[in-house]
Amino acid sequence: MLLMTAPTGSASTTGLVLAVFGASTVEMVEALTLVVAAGTRSWRSALEGTAAALVVLAVLTAAIGLPLAQFLPIDTLRVVVGTLLLLLGLSWLRKAILRGGGRLAKHDEDAIYARTVGSLGSPGVEVSRRDGAAFLVAFKGVMLEGFEVVLIVVSLGTSAHRLPVAAAAAGAAVVLVGVAGVVVARQLSAVPENTLKTIVGVMLTSFGTFWVGEGAGIRWPGSDLALVVLVAVFAAVTAAMVTALRFGTPRAGSVLRAPGASSEEVAR
Amino acid sequence: MSSGSLRRVVGAVGRFAWDFFVDDSPEMLVVAAVVVGCAYALRGENSLAVVALPVVVVLGLTICVWRALRPRAKDPDHVRRTGGRP
């Protein structure tokens, strides 16, 4: 098996880095919106909340990932993480297809920002003081969005024996989004979030299928290169489904909000 | 920790995990289970398995999207249009 014999330079490492980086970017953009909204009340507390959440997430990554990688048999680990990746990937793809096809409202960072600022209320005093509400909103936002990243980092990192590489890719995305947030000083509503989610959804689904197969004892033709084929197949299917939805006749009431989607899902 | 609080914590963690992984699309759980089942069932038939697994995933994804587009009785728009008939 290529992964076990050639630890560097494989197709799966490139895919792993891209998937983790893309997923982390999407989730961190969503978290940044909440951090910036919290910052309108107290920048100090918003940044403290963000830092605290990042520390907890880093500890979680090490606490879950290292024991998994050391103590679980590799085949069992691959089936478990493959299943998790399949669930996450299919969920991302399903929403991305519905959004791309115009059947579900796209994620609107501006609306989320406005709603969060409105719910926090006016600070009334200077924003450099400490504020519990701002700390909590930033902490919760980064924790919830980051937890998905932790799962992806741990899943991909442990199953490929590249946890540090996966963690570094996630860290790079956090830094990139953070710097971009400072530069533009606002939430990143211009980021093509649905496109990123589609790409990451395709990659997570491909990795999930690949690892479940490997863990069950199936040998993919071309080893890691089979990942490229899986990505191509799932990307083509996704594009076909988006096109079909876009040009198909929508049912009344199914445009922008899928009947199966809750109002919470529309906002997520 | 008392057994009551432990039960509450376990319940909360379970609800969070369900919302996180499954949300309102339990069919994805079924798809994942079918993929894992197929992988183990077909491990002796390698050439069939490498084709079957992606096909099952694609079929599952299609079903998930199709089900999300179906009107549901609890949907307010659907209830208004049909009086709640499935």
Q: Do B71 and A147 touch (CB under 8 A)?
A: no
Residue of B nearest to A91 (CA): B28
Nearest CA in chain A to B30: A87
Question: Rounded to an integer, what distance in angstroms lies between the CA atom of residue A29 and that of residue A180?
Answer: 10
Helix, strand or coil, per DSSP, at residue A71: helix
- Within an 8 Å CB–CB cutoff, is residue A213 touching chain B? yes
CA-based nearest distance A245→chain B, Å:
10
Cβ-nearest to A209 among B53, B70, B77:
B53
Query: What secondary structure letter does DSSP report for A162?
Result: -
Residues of B in contact with A91 (CB under 8 A): 21, 23, 25, 28
Of B49, B55, B50, B36, which is closest to residue A234 (Cα–Cα)? B55
CA A110 – CA A201 distance, rounded (Å): 23
Interchain contact, B28 vs A94, CB within 8 Å:
yes
- Has residue B81 got a pLDDT over 60? no
What is the mean pLDDT of the segment spanning B56-83? 73
Local structure of residue A105 (DSSP, 8 states): P
Query: Within an 8 Å CB–CB cutoff, is residue A90 touching chain B?
Result: yes
Rounded to whole angstroms, what are the CA distances from A62 to A50, A68, A69?
19, 10, 10
Please report the pLDDT score of residue B35 as a whole number: 94
pLDDT reported for residue A137 = 86
Which of B24, B32, B78 faces A253 most closely, judged by CB atoms? B78
Distance CA B35, CA A89 (A): 14
| Tens digit of each residue's pLDDT (9 = 90 or more) over B15-64 | 877 877 777 778 888 999 999 999 999 988 899 999 999 999 999 999 98
pLDDT band at B79 (very low <50, low <70, confident <90, very high): very low
Closest CA to A81 of A31, A12, A139: A12
Concatenated DSSP letters of A110-157? HHHHHHHHHHH----S-TTS--HHHHHHHHHHHHHHHHHHHHHHHHHH
Distance, in Å, from the CA atom of A100 to the CA atom of A91, rounded to the nearest integer, reads: 14
Quote the pLDDT of residue A7: 40
- Give the model confidence (pLDDT) of A173-221 as tens digits: 888 888 877 776 555 666 677 788 888 889 889 989 999 999 999 999 9
Given CB atoms, is A172 within the 8 Å cutoff of chain B? no
Q: Which residue among B22, B68, B71 places its CB closest to the CB of A261?
A: B68
pLDDT at A236: 95
Question: Per the structure block, which two tokens stand in for A24?
Answer: 């982390």
Q: Which residues of B touch A148 (CB under 8 A)?
A: 20
Say yes or no for a CB contact (<8 Å) between B57 and A209.
yes
Tell me the whole-structure pTM to 2 decimals: 0.73
State the nearest Cα–Cα gap between A101 and chain B, in angstroms: 11
Q: What's the Cα-to-Cα distance from A223 to each of A6, A12, A56, A150, B52, rounded to whole Å?
A: 11, 10, 36, 26, 17
- Give me the residue label for tokens 């009551």: B4
Q: Comparing C-alpha atoms, which of A151, A244, A157, A232 is closest to residue A199?
A: A232
Amino acid at A43: W
Task: List the domain boundaries for chain B.
Answer: 26-82
Residue A219 at interface with chain B, using a CB cutoff of 8 Å = yes
Cα–Cα distance, A134 to A49 (Å, whole number): 8
A213:B29 CB<8 A: no
Is residue A265 within 8 Å of A95, Cβ to Cβ? yes
CB of B51 less than 8 A from some CB of A: no
Low-confidence ranges of chain A (pLDDT < 70): 1-11, 106-110, 121-128, 184-191, 249-268
Q: What sign has the CA pseudo-torsion A18, A24, A26, A28?
A: negative
- The radius of gyration of chain B's CA atoms, rounded to the nearest angstrom, is 19
Distance CA B47, CA A102 (A): 38
DSSP characters over B52-86:
HHHHHHHHHHHHHHHHHHS--TT-HHHHHHHTT--
